[in-house]
């Protein structure tokens, strides 16, 4: 990562917070800050991609769905990543997820993976 490369926030509520997953996906441990995604709730999905299961150590991963209710919220981390690292996270996530732009409780604009 070059010093002048622009960074973006990627909100993680699951396995992208795990050090082993970050090292494999991004090649480094990424800086992160606690944050909250309002208007969503956590569900769980069975993961069939053996690479992802082996890396995360989990066959069931959290997945968020929009509720539109401001009282619903998902607690997680805002990861600071580069555009290349965002592409790498797209490769890590399975077809059950799609990446969208959201605004977190902190006011930060971020990407998040939601139910496809």
pLDDT tens by residue, 66-114: 999 989 999 999 999 999 999 999 999 888 899 999 999 999 999 999 9
Which residue range is the domain that position 91 belongs to?
8-115
Tell me, what CATH number does 85's domain have? 3.10.490.10
Q: What is the pLDDT of residue 22?
A: 97
Q: Give 8-56 pLDDT, tens digit per residue.
A: 999 999 999 999 999 999 999 999 999 999 999 999 989 898 988 898 8
Q: Could you tell me if residue 47 is inside a domain?
A: yes
Q: In the structure, what pLDDT confidence band is assigned to residue 5 with cuts at 50, 70 and 90?
A: confident
Question: Per the structure, how many domains does the chain have?
Answer: 1
Q: What is the pLDDT of residue 21?
A: 94
DSSP string computed for 66-83: E---TT-EEEEEEEEE-H
Q: What is the pLDDT of residue 3?
A: 55
The model scores a pTM over 0.85: yes
Token digits of residue 106: 């902190």
Distance separating alpha carbons of residues 30 and 76, to the nearest angstrom: 14
């Amino acid at each position: 990562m070059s010093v002048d490369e622009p960074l973006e926030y990627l909100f993680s509520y699951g396995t992208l917070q795990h050090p082993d997953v970050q090292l494999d996906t991004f090649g480094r441990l990424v800086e992160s800050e606690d944050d909250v995604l309002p208007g969503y709730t956590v569900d769980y999905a069975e993961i069939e991609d053996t690479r992802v299961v082996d890396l995360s150590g989990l066959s069931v991963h959290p997945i968020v769905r929009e509720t539109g209710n401001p009282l619903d919220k998902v607690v997680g981390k805002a990861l600071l990543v580069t555009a290349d690292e965002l592409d790498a996270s797209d490769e890590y996530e399975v077809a059950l997820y799609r990446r969208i732009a959201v605004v977190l409780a902190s006011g930060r604009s971020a990407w998040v993976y939601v139910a496809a």
